[in-house]
């Protein structure tokens, strides 16, 4: 535990250094959280302490006023007390090259796809998040699990397209023109433990993928804006996904909503309807045919912010289903230090009633945003 606390503490020191033509910077959030949970069926974590640090690191070479290239990395350090499913501590590091100019942004490496980056849907104001939520740190969900080397999802865990996760890819996003952006990504191999594609899925075709995204910003007045987004993905030639999203901002008030549908087009790579072995139950890849949506509403005044978010997903072929509610409250103790009070509720249906889970968790914490 001491090792991960020490590593997390490093991110408490924000930095931004300039030595022309080089620019180095970092931003992110580091926090410590304690949650108390009560579940109806399985209670893996009745009380739990978690620390987590998320930081984006950048080292750029400035060619001119409108063009720079560099090495960026998304990093995560975490410690989960008494983790029964995997190692208590975990380190993630996703580097990629980025070229940013008046012609747009080009990324090569372990980054998110363009549809994901341009997606606008429901939001949460804490580290839990509503898409790809960390609520499972405190409430066990039988439909979502991810380890160091593999992942298993019976249902979608987001309304954004993140099937390929942080798998290596090539991404291009256009500059904003009249509030409009376009993006496209190519992924050589979709299976990645930070995505939903299990490495055990038996595809007949090459495991590559293409995603396309669009985002439009409408400025209604000095205080109000509307964002809309559209995403489309094709994986392994037969797996297709489409996503929609929108956000409305008026001063300190905002609402958002997102939707995604995943479906199989063709008969070449069907769902695994039969149990292959003890490690691969029937419908272990059921996320490939599913629907999900989310909604959120938030408001802030002076130093206090509150946000309510809801996420729902279900698989087409089985009774696998999730309902996740998160009510988050943040108080800014200083410009950088935040206090958290979070109430979350999860209701999940699995393949059998014996594996269903329903529970509520109250989480308190403190974070440093830089």
Domain range list for the chain: 2-369
pLDDT at residue 320, as a whole number: 94
Q: Residues 166, 192: contact at Cβ < 8 Å?
A: yes
pLDDT tens figures, 88-114: 788 999 999 999 999 999 999 999 999
6-20, 51-65, 74-88: least confidently modelled range: 6-20
2-16, 66-80, 248-262, 345-359: least confidently modelled range: 2-16
127-141, 169-183, 210-224, 343-357: least confidently modelled range: 343-357
pLDDT at residue 148, as a whole number: 55
Average pLDDT for the chain: 90
Q: How confident is the model at residue 264 (pLDDT cuts 50, 70, 90)?
A: very high
pLDDT at residue 205, as a whole number: 67
Residue range 66-86: mean pLDDT, rounded? 88
112-116, 243-247, 356-360: least confidently modelled range: 356-360
Question: Does the pLDDT of residue 1 top 90, yes or no?
Answer: no
pLDDT at residue 13, as a whole number: 46
Nearest Cα neighbor of 211 from 180, 243, 181 is: 243
pLDDT at residue 5, as a whole number: 46
Question: Does the pLDDT of residue 257 top 50, yes or no?
Answer: yes
Say whether 288 sits in a helix, a strand or coil. Answer: helix
Which helix (H) or strand (E) segment holds residue 97: the answer is: strand 89-101
- Specify the residue for token string 């009249």: 178
Question: Does the pLDDT of residue 249 top 60, yes or no?
Answer: yes
State what percent of residues in the chain have pLDDT above 70.
Answer: 91
Q: CA gyration radius for the chain?
A: 20
- Per CATH, domain 2-369 is 3.30.565.10: no
Q: What is the DSSP string of 22-35?
A: EEEEEEEEEEEEEE
Question: Does the pLDDT of residue 165 top 70, yes or no?
Answer: yes
Q: How confident is the model at residue 76 (pLDDT cuts 50, 70, 90)?
A: very high
The tokens for 7 are 């590593």
Distance, CA of 273 to CA of 280 (rounded, Å): 10
> pTM here?
0.90
Beta pairing, strands 22-39 & 47-64: antiparallel
């Amino acid at each position: 535990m001491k090792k991960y606390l020490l590593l997390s503490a490093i991110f408490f020191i924000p930095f931004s250094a300039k030595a022309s033509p080089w620019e180095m910077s970092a931003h992110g959030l580091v926090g410590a959280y304690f949650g108390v949970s009560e579940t109806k069926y399985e209670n893996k974590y009745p009380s739990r302490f978690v620390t987590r640090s998320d930081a984006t690191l950048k080292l750029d070479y400035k060619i001119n006023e409108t063009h720079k290239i560099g090495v960026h990395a998304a990093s995560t350090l975490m410690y989960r007390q008494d983790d029964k499913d995997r190692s208590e501590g975990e380190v993630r590091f996703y580097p990629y090259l980025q070229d940013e100019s008046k012609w747009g942004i080009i990324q090569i490496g372990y980054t998110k796809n363009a549809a994901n980056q341009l997606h606008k849907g429901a939001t949460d104001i804490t580290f839990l998040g509503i898409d790809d939520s960390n609520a499972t740190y405190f409430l066990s969900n039988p439909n979502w699990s991810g380890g160091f080397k593999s992942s298993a999802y019976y249902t979608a865990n987001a309304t954004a397209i993140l099937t390929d996760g942080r798998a290596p890819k090539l991404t291009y996003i256009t500059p904003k023109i009249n509030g409009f952006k376009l993006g496209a990504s190519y992924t050589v191999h979709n299976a990645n433990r930070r995505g939903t594609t299990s490495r055990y899925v038996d595809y007949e075709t090459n495991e590559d993928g293409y995603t396309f995204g669009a985002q439009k910003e409408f400025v209604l007045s000095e205080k109000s804006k509307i964002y809309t987004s559209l995403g489309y993905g094709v994986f392994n030639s037969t797996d297709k996904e489409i996503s929609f999203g929108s956000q409305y901002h008026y001063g300190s008030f905002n609402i958002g909503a997102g939707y995604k549908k995943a479906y199989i087009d063709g008969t070449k790579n069907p769902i695994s309807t039969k149990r292959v072995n003890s490690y691969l139950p029937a419908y272990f890849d059921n996320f490939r045919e599913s629907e999900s949506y989310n909604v959120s509403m938030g408001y802030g005044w002076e130093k206090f912010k509150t946000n309510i978010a809801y996420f729902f997903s279900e698989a087409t072929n089985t009774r696998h289903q999730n309902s996740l509610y998160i009510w988050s409250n943040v108080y800014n103790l200083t410009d950088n230090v935040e206090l958290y009070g979070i109430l979350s509720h999860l209701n999940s249906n699995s393949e059998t009633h014996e594996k269903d889970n329903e529970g509520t968790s109250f989480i308190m914490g403190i974070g440093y945003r830089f």
